[in-house]
Amino acid sequence: MGSWLLVAAGLVVLFVAYQLWGTALVHWQGQRDLRNRFDHALAQARAADHGTVRRSIPYPAVGEPVAIIAIPRIGLDQVVVEGVGAPQLAVGPGHYPGTALPGQPGNSGIAGHRTTHGAPFNALAELVPGDPVVLTTLQGTFTYRVTRSLVVAPDDVAVLRPTAVPQLTLTTCNPKYSAAQRLVVEARLTTPPAPATPAPVSSARVGSVSGADPLASPGTWIVLLASTLGLAALVLVVGRVRRRASSTGTRRSRPARRNARWATVAAVPVGLVLLFLAFGALDTLLPQSF
């Protein structure tokens, strides 16, 4: 019983480590892919408009790059992705579907993790009125100025309602390492807005501030089940090899023990990969907190 408790405690510690550092690897890879895609789309848009990009653009699909957000005070420079579900927030700040696109009339909402998945909004509380928030989209570059910060309940969607003036609303969890509240930073657009893009009917209803993802796809459950079964099989195989080595007679014990050592060494990287996959799937299934 005691050994199983130790294993369980070890898995909890490893999962916490994955949340704090492992998710940053997924975030980094996602940001690199989003940056490449956005830079390519921006170059095409500028070439089509001869360097002046102020034309109307289609509303992006979930998972597509939306803009580059830069906040000098906190050293943030990342690509914003469309959507606030677990897969989107794992790779960067997410634009709330149904809100105005950055740089356009209305209220544009963007959420971001504060302590995991690269923690893009980790220092959001340091912003003060007057701080610039610069967003570059396919329509140009737009500067917002912070007007205020406030703390709301996780299910308070009022901060994402349409506004008469162009506004940016940034949300993240509060306090750090907790989803009990939401920290909200509001900023006012100080440059001329771009032509508006109507949100599609399917995205017209803005989701909750908590950004809860709908039921995970079957693929997530398959990855979790397959990686968990793989880990269990790996442990059983290595355990059997080691038990056989310990029960082998004296004359044959040296080769058997050598095989047991090699089996253990070979199992470590395979086990780490399976554990990474399992933690990634589990992270997607957990309630969202950012």
- Residue whose entry in the numeric block shows the structure tokens 């933690």: 279
Which tokens is 30 given?
């996602």
- CA 168/CA 148 separation, integer angstroms: 11
| pLDDT tens for the 290 residues of the chain, in order | 666 677 677 777 777 777 777 788 889 999 999 999 999 999 988 887 765 556 789 999 999 999 999 999 999 999 999 999 889 999 999 999 999 999 999 999 999 999 889 999 999 999 999 999 999 999 999 999 999 999 999 888 899 999 999 999 999 999 988 888 999 999 999 999 999 998 886 654 555 444 434 445 677 778 778 888 887 887 787 777 777 767 765 555 667 667 667 767 777 788 777 777 777 777 766 665 54
| Structure confidence at residue 224 (pLDDT) | 79
Which residue, among 256, 238, 235, has the nearest Cα to 247 in the 3D structure?
256
pLDDT at 275: 74
Give the CA distances from residue 150 to residues 74, 101, 170, 187, 190, in Å, rounded to whole numbers and listed in that order.
18, 22, 11, 12, 21
Burial 33-56 (b: 16+ CB within 10 A, else e): ebbeebeebbeebeeeeeeebeee
**Structure tokens belonging to residue 34:** 């989003």
Domain ranges in the chain are 17-203, 216-285
Quote the pLDDT of residue 215.
41
pLDDT for position 252: 54
What is the CATH code of the structural domain delimited by 17-203?
Answer: 2.40.260.10
The pLDDT of residue 46 is: 82
**∠ CA 64-284-135 to the nearest 5 degrees?**
35
Distances from the Cα of 94 to the Cαs of 59, 81, 110, 229, 267, in angstroms?
A: 14, 5, 5, 33, 37
Q: How far apart are CA 75 and CA 194, in angstroms?
A: 26
